[in-house]
């Protein structure tokens, strides 16, 4: 039986286990990436492991999140990141060089290799044919120390693409259609592998848009073949030697399959407040728009911005619409400046921002009260924009440009039958002057006053007792648990300070209650912890004394982060038992042995429930050691 692309790369990198779906495995990691919102903590953890130099083929530290410098904190963290990278053999991408996923696609991604990144949109590199997985910072620190990455072997879902896209329809519409079909839970435990004749019609930036938003499906990652299109892109980036051909065997087997006829697709849009709340643009035509934001790691490539520039050239954006544009990298920024497209954008009335994540993570450009904001981003969770009552829609650059011109949600096909045609450059502008190579000299690491020591976890006791500190519903995101934004993100290296904001948008009294109660339990619904890879959504609750989270189901990355920081993740055997437990109930759970099912006692109601988990032996050993850092330092891995 032949192998698909996913199986080929996993098999080549396998360190333990077998590639049968659901098997506990570990794989060798070739590359890592971090960004500044997660990197500071990841490198503090790497330091704690005690390895002098990274053991990966390549590790890169990016600054692209915390670039709004309203105080000393972010600037201090940037200096810390640059010095610690230089000391430990890590490349450093300076502020202004661009968004990590866009820059990595341009300069570092390699077909057939593995990448672990402390950002949930790391799967962007699957557009190049990499197995690229988002994870918590501690997992990335362990990978830099030479440790394999542990996970369950995912199923492989084949997405067969037929025909080619029609004018004004783009890659964003493909992934929105998949989200419409599968939902934000549809990719859990799976890798999406794209194939079929439609693949050859998509450029690498288009493929990267699709793999980027595979994260919104809850998928482990997504991947395209490495073919002639990949070869031409890497050649244009001056990296032809990085290309290898990679595709499935003719008789490759898949666990599931869906088919999409690209010719039948039309412009799509995700309504508030979930990326899977998708309909056609024409269904919402006429809805007044107040803000348009173009950019993010999903749609900030040269092709994306050239498409917008051509659509806006010679025109003026609607007087009631604020338009902001974030180029994805210095390469993109400089190229649109050189060819005149930037001047066209400025002349139209668009406001040009830094080459950073910016508005996508609530770092500036919060929309007006009750605004409709159309964004080319990947997430539209409530409050993520910085304005809690804003209505955020997700759409393609083509749709965004149409909305900017008309002041209402508009099908871009209304702009005319002739859509902008953008050819991929035969040669991209290559200037890596903002990428700092590691030094062989003795480096003193800079540490500002906002960088606090790692909080220490404690070994798990034989019995967990405490109150239900909070009961939440379904699809709780890591934004709900640990918000981002300009006020909170600068505290990422200060756990005592950032812990004061845990569940701020759900229940502002949570931190106070957790400290008064001496910790306890959190109760959640289905798909708990979806969204960002931010490990602070586990690390800060651990600091506040949360010892177990009991849900209907978990999102993959957050589940791993809970284990890494010694918080026991459990699910109800009977989901209806969720309804019988209330916030404030006193619970007791014997955990001397973690063999499932476990008996959860509700001392308030005098009832018992069966709870279970999917933990392997290693996971259970990590929990008993109080977390992964203690486990590794004990020499158990």
Could you check whether the bond before residue 273 is cis, i.e. omega within 30 degrees of 0? yes
Q: How many Cβ atoms from other residues are within 10 Å of residue 155's Cβ?
A: 17
CATH of the domain at 318: 3.30.499.10
How many angstroms separate the CA atoms of 55 and 465, rounded?
41
3-state secondary structure of 126: helix
Q: What is the dihedral sign for C-alpha 181, 184, 186, 191? A: positive
Exposed/middle/buried for residue 596 (C-beta within 10 Å: 0-12, 13-18, 19+):
middle
> Domain for residue 549, yes or no?
yes
Helices (H), 213-256: 228-236
Which domain CATH number covers 499?
3.20.19.10
User: Which run of H or of E encompasses 104?
Assistant: helix 100-107
Contact in structure between 67 and 74 (CB atoms under 8 Å): yes
Q: Note whether 382 and 488 are same-domain residues.
A: no
544 domain-assigned: yes
Average pLDDT score over residue span 101-109: 98
Element (H, E) at 546: strand 546-551
Determine which of 278-287, 291-300, 437-446 has the lowest per-residue pLDDT on average: 437-446
Three-state secondary structure call for residue 400: helix
Q: How many angstroms separate the CA atoms of 123 and 476, rounded?
A: 22
On whether the CB atoms of residues 592 and 599 are closer than 8 A, the answer is no
Question: What is the rounded distance in angstroms from the CA atom of residue 208 to the CA atom of residue 210?
Answer: 5
Q: For the residues 507-528, what does the mean pLDDT come to?
A: 96
Which residues have a Cβ under 8 Å from the Cβ of 524 and sit 6 or more positions away? 471, 472, 473, 476, 549, 550, 551, 552
Query: Are residues 483 and 622 located together in one domain of the fold?
Result: yes
Asked if residue 629 has pLDDT above 90, the reply is: no
**Could you tell me if 392 and 522 lie in one domain?**
no
Q: Say if residue 587's pLDDT is above 70.
A: yes
Q: Which residues pair with 600 in a beta bridge?
A: 589, 609
Q: Within a domain: residue 543? A: yes
Q: How far apart are CA 284 and CA 321, in angstroms?
A: 17
Are 501 and 352 members of one domain? no
Does residue 214 carry a pLDDT above 70?
yes
Instruction: Give the integer Cα–Cα distance in Å for 174 and 298.
Output: 13
Is the pLDDT at 409 greater than 70? The verdict is yes
421-451 pLDDT per residue, tens: 898 999 999 999 999 999 888 899 999 999 9
221-223 sheet: strands from edge to edge: 221-223, 190-195, 155-162, 256-261
58-95 confidence digits (pLDDT tens): 999 999 998 889 899 999 999 999 999 999 999 999 99
Domain match, 607 and 526 both:
yes
Residues 228-239 have pLDDT tens digits of 999 999 999 999
Q: What is the pLDDT of residue 387?
A: 92
**% of the chain exceeding 90 in pLDDT:** 87
408 lies in the same domain as 489: no
pLDDT classification of 636: cutoffs 50, 70, 90: low
pLDDT at site 1: 79
- Higher local confidence (pLDDT), 452 or 427: 427
- Model confidence band, residue 459 (pLDDT cutoffs 50, 70, 90): confident
Mean pLDDT of all residues belonging to the chain: 95
- Whether residues 405 and 480 share a domain: the answer is no
Q: Which of 383, 415, 447 is the last residue of a domain?
A: 415
405 and 474 belong to one structural domain: no
Residue 523 or 486, more confident = 523
Please list the helix, strand and coil fractions of the chain in percent, rounded to the nearest 5, in that order: 35, 20, 45
- Could you count the other beta carbons within 10 Å of the beta carbon of residue 213? 30
Tokens for 60, please give them.
């890169």
Residues 411 and 276 in one domain: yes
- Residue 545: inside a domain: yes
> Which of 380, 415, 450 is where one domain is finished?
415
Whether 243 maps to a domain, the answer reads no
Judge whether residue 338 has pLDDT over 90.
yes
Q: How many domains in the chain?
A: 2
Q: Are residues 405 and 497 part of one domain?
A: no
Note the pLDDT tens digit of each residue in 30-50.
999 999 989 999 999 999 999
Range of the domain at 589: 463-633
Residue 611 lies in a domain: yes
Residue 530 is given by DSSP the state: B
Distance CA 509, CA 584 (A): 13
pLDDT digit string, tens, across residues 347-394: 999 999 999 998 998 888 999 999 999 999 999 999 999 899 999 999
Enter the tokens of residue 634: 């004990």
How is 278-339 classified by DSSP, letter by letter? EEEGGGGTT-B--EEEE-TTTS-SHHHHHHHHHHHTT----TT-EEEE--SBHHHHHHHHHT
561 in a domain, yes or no? Answer: yes
Distance CA 280, CA 391 (A): 17
**Number of neighbours of residue 537 by Cβ within 10 angstroms:** 27
Question: Are 375 and 79 spatial neighbours (Cβ–Cβ below 8 Å)?
Answer: no
How far is residue 334's CA from residue 492's CA, in Å, rounded to a whole number? 31
pLDDT at position 637 over 80: no
* Domain assignment of residue 436, yes or no: no
**Residue with more model confidence, 328 or 629:** 328
Count of alpha carbons within 13 angstroms of residue 160, beta-carbon side: 6
State residue 455's pLDDT score. Answer: 84
For residue 630, is pLDDT > 90?
no
Q: In the listed set 347, 381, 415, which residue is the last one of a domain according to the structure?
A: 415
* CB atoms closer than 10 angstroms to residue 320: 11
Predicted pLDDT of residue 635: 65
Residue 322 confidence (pLDDT) above 90: yes
Strand order in the sheet with 435-436: 131-134, 114-117, 31-35, 58-62, 91-93, 435-436
Angle between helices 536-543 and 556-564 (to 10 degrees): 40
């Amino acid at each position: 039986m032949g192998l698909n692309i996913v199986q080929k790369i996993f098999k080549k990198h396998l360190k333990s286990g077998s590639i049968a779906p659901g098997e506990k495995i570990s794989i060798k990691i070739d590359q890592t990436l971090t960004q500044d919102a997660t990197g500071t903590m990841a490198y503090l953890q790497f330091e704690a492991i005690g390895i002098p130099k990274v053991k990966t083929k390549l590790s890169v530290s990016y600054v692209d999140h915390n670039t709004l410098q309203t105080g000393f904190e972010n600037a201090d963290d940037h200096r810390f990141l640059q010095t610690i990278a230089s000391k430990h053999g890590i490349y450093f991408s300076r502020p202004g060089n661009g968004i990590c996923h866009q820059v990595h696609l341009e300069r570092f991604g390699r077909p057939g290799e593995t990448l672990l990144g402390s950002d949930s949109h790391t799967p962007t590199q699957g557009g190049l044919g990499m197995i690229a997985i988002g994870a918590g910072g501690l997992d990335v620190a362990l990978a830099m120390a030479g440790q394999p990455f542990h996970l369950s072997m995912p199923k492989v879902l084949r997405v067969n693409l037929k025909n080619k896209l029609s004018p004004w329809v783009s890659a964003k519409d493909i992934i929105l259609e998949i989200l419409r079909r599968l939902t934000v839970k549809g990719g859990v435990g799976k890798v999406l592998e794209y194939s079929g004749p439609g693949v050859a019609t998509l450029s690498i930036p288009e493929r990267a848009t699709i793999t980027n938003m595979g994260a919104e499906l809850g998928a482990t990652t997504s991947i395209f073949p490495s073919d002639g299109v990949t070869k031409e892109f890497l050649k244009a980036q001056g990296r032809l030697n990085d290309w290898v051909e990679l595709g499935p065997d003719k008789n490759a087997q898949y666990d599931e399959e869906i088919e999409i006829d690209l010719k039948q697709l039309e412009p799509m849009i995700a309504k508030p407040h979930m990326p899977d709340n998708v309909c056609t643009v024409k269904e919402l035509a006429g809805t007044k728009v107040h803000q348009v934001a173009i950019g993010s790691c999903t749609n900030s490539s040269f092709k994306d911005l050239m498409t917008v520039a051509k659509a806006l050239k010679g025109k003026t954006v609607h007087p009631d619409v604020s338009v902001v544009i974030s180029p994805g990298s210095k390469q993109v920024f400089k190229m649109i400046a050189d060819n005149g497209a930037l001047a066209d954008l400025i002349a139209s009335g668009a406001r040009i921002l830094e080459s950073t994540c910016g508005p996508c993570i609530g770092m500036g450009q919060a929309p007006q009260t009750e605004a409709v904001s159309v964004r080319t981003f990947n997430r539209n969770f409530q409050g993520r924009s910085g304005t809690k009552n804003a209505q955020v829609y997700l759409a393609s650059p083509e749709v965004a440009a149409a909305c900017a011109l008309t002041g209402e949600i508009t099908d871009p096909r209304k702009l005319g039958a002739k859509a902008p045609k953008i050819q991929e450059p035969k040669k991209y502008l290559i200037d890596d002057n903002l990428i700092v190579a590691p030094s062989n000299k003795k480096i003193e690491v800079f540490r500002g006053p906002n960088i606090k020591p790692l909080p220490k976890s404690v070994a798990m006791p034989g019995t967990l007792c405490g109150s239900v500190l909070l009961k939440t519903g379904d699809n709780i995101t890591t934004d709900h648990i640990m918000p981002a934004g300009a006020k909170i993100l600068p505290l990422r290296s200060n756990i005592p300070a950032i812990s004061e904001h845990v569940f701020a948008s759900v229940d502002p009294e949570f931190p106070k209650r957790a400290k008064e109660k001496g910790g306890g339990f959190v109760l959640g619904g289905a798909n708990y912890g979806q969204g960002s890879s931010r490990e602070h959504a586990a690390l800060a609750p651990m600091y506040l004394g949360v010892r177990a989270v009991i849900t209907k189901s978990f999102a993959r990355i957050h589940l791993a982060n809970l284990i890494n920081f010694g918080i026991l993740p459990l699910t109800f055997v009977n989901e209806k038992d969720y309804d019988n437990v209330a916030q404030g109930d006193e619970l007791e759970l014997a955990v001397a042995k973690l063999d499932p099912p476990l008996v959860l006692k509700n001392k308030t109601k005098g009832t018992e429930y069966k709870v279970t988990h999917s933990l392997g032996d290693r996971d259970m050993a990590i929990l008993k050691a109080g977390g992964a850092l203690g486990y590794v330092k004990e020499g158990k891995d």
